[in-house]
Structure 1
Amino acid sequence: MTIKRETLRKDFPILDRKVNEEPLLYLDNAATLQTPNQVLKKITEFYQKSHANVHRGVYTLAQEATQAYEQVREQVAAFIHAANAHEIVYTRSTTESLNLVASSFGELVVQEGDEILLTIMEHHSNLIPWQQLAKRKKAILKYVPLTVDQTLDVHAFKQQLTEKTKIVALAQTSNVLGVTNPVKKLVELAHQQHAYVVVDAAQTVAHHALDVQDLNVDFLAFSGHKMGAPTGIGVLYGKSELLKAMPPIQFGGEMIENVTKTTATWQPAPWKFEAGTPNIGGVIGLGAAIDYLNHLEMSWIAATEKKLMMHLLPELQKIEGLTIYGPQTVERHEGIVTFNLAHIHPHDVATGLDMLGVEVRAGHHCAQPLMAALGVESTVRASLSFYNSIAEMDRFVYALKMVKEFFNHESE
């Protein structure tokens, strides 16, 4: 597939703006992907032509809105290769999806003395819900450490799995280390112990094709805004039999089947988990974002971002005093580079880059246990996407060298 980058970038008007009188170089794609015109247009068309609530009215607008809302569920199922659309639950975010699994399914299967196995690289959203579940249930929370090259220690993962392990929760791709875990292999190992596997795919969904049936995961979560959709819309995939067994944790609206003064019954999954008026515009935007990614082709996106990393990582490794976290080879490093510059606070690095129009993130990246394991309090993170270019990688490296020179000069 041949795509002209100049044409592609026209889909994202924000990339043409200036920051501090410098051309914008957006490198915080792991936090949120920019939204293309095609998605914005689809959302606007919905509000201008078919805006109504879903699952409630028999009039034309309501039927159109409901049809569009449910059609996107079919799109999501096809996009991640789910067995059917009833395995797709709309939520507000990856965070809400993971909390839903912990608060509903976790309450069903975890008992006192059981074990919940996480990795040390988890985002807080895939850590705290399990931490709180373990406290409520008096269960044991365990963490898989890193290897010396700062990838997941698969040998330790095998050792920590026991017959008491009920839940395994892990990120497919780390939002800090830029490493993608061997999820399919880990799922096989977990299922051998009859444990259920919950995957945080927030950092994978816009970069690689997903096939939940091939991975055989029990649950998988991601957010729309990581893939060009609006904020406030997320997805939880769950195997049909597991969603069927789970009780809802929010009540009201069209998730209800029947109500008396003393009893209530629920709609089947996935609707029983979608209480109240949903983010209909967000769902419409999610469908448009999937269309956009499918048009580009996920294989093209993955190859394009790999080329960017193959160029960037070696150039960063040449900078004296710069420490890169995660794998040091481009083969293992996905489109996220997290680093520190010696004797310069990460926030100062990010502020200096912002003055040059380069937007990166600095902080603990919602992964404080990982920061502790790395022996740091915070880091700088640059994250790439398909609309970035080789020229931008060079500009980023040059800007980083300028920031380093400025602060080192100031300290003299």
Structure 2
Amino acid sequence: MQVTETQAEGLKRAFRVVVPATELDAKAAARLSDLKDKVKLNGFRPGKVPVAHLKRVYGRSVMAEVIEQTVTEANGKIVEDNGFRLALQPKVALPEDQDEVKGVIEGEKDLTYTVELELLPKIELGNFKELKVEKPVVEVSDAEVDETIARIADANRPYSAKAGAAAKGDRVSVDFVGTMDGEKFEGGSGEDVQVVIGSNSFIPGFEEQLEGINVGETRTVTVSFPEAYAARALAGKPASFEVTAKGIEAPGELVLDDEFAKTLGQESLAKLKELVRQRIESEHAGVARQKIKRTLLDALDAAHQFDVPAGLVEQEFTGVWEQVKQDLAAQNRTFADEDTTEDEAQAEYRKIAERRVRLGLVLAEIGERNNIQVSDDEVTRAVVERARQFPGQEQQVWDYYRRNPQAMASVRAPLFEEKVVDFLLELADVTEKKVTKEELYKEDEDEKAA
């Protein structure tokens, strides 16, 4: 076998490989000889089929298998001999000329093919003890706990039927039909929907226009959907709703005491407050974790600038770009609605794809050098947690992951990333910075982009 390097630019390598016909023929003959004792053909006793006859019957298929195996072994030898670390699977170009293909299959011509390789870069890791990151910390105040409990209480407040018109704080059961430019729209109708006037849970202006309505009365409510409305096809647009009141209830008295706590399964109001405080602390800690992780990843990106495999970037970009287009289509929006052009958006998302690939390689390198691994038990627990998010479908979810290696890898990857982040935070110089709740949850433009 003759191997000639034809390209060595950056992370790309290419080779021309020539495998003599005699070598292929010898391998095919060995395979046919092995088949002699295994195949059964009419007219021949087991193990007595002449190799020449086997070659006439199976020769072409056996040679095809030999060629496939030879190419795989040759590529593996190229990688091993040169100490390459591949970013992607080798890209092989076999002969396309029919006469040449026929000659190779029939053992009359040498096999000549080319293989292109894209390599992983050599990464020089920095000194992680020099990393400086701030950890935002929010103290949970008694007022925040009381406010949360008040919302819980309000959601569990008893209501009773009342006579007369609806007032602020009342719960009104309504049917409604929404129209836009005189036409009904998807999601614009509902029956027996309960609206608490003043709860600000509906489109701005909707609840206020129900004040004074009586049971059996129908009135037209006109509103405009918020600019940031989730259904982008409706965002910022005016709509009219024909609303009929079917029932009106007044809120009952609610005392925040031990008895109220017991209705929620807690032994006392103090215990309820303790649990609420723990939940708020956990939520704040989750947000703080994402903030410090973003800071850490920014620092890693800045400290590790190197060429990344173009093929990996293209794969990442393709996935991101397809999702972008699907989201825009689902929201009935264009790039112009996002104050950009398709070319500008593509350029921006390519930068994001390149950053993702670079950080992925850095994190993988850190994990490999420090023997950071995710056990099968950890993956299994994560899949079980995902399955629990689909009550009644747990077995189907479990089977999906168990039978789909890519899906299982999608579970393992974030677990690995979090372990590497934990490892880095143990080495880095982490200082705590007290911030307000508003500062913690403030999301700047860079974070949105990331």
TM-score of the two chains, using structure 1 as the length reference: 0.21
TM-score of the two chains, using structure 2 as the length reference: 0.20
Larger-Rg structure: 2
More helix by share: 2
Larger relative contact order (Cα-Cα within 8 Å, sequence gap ≥ 6): 1
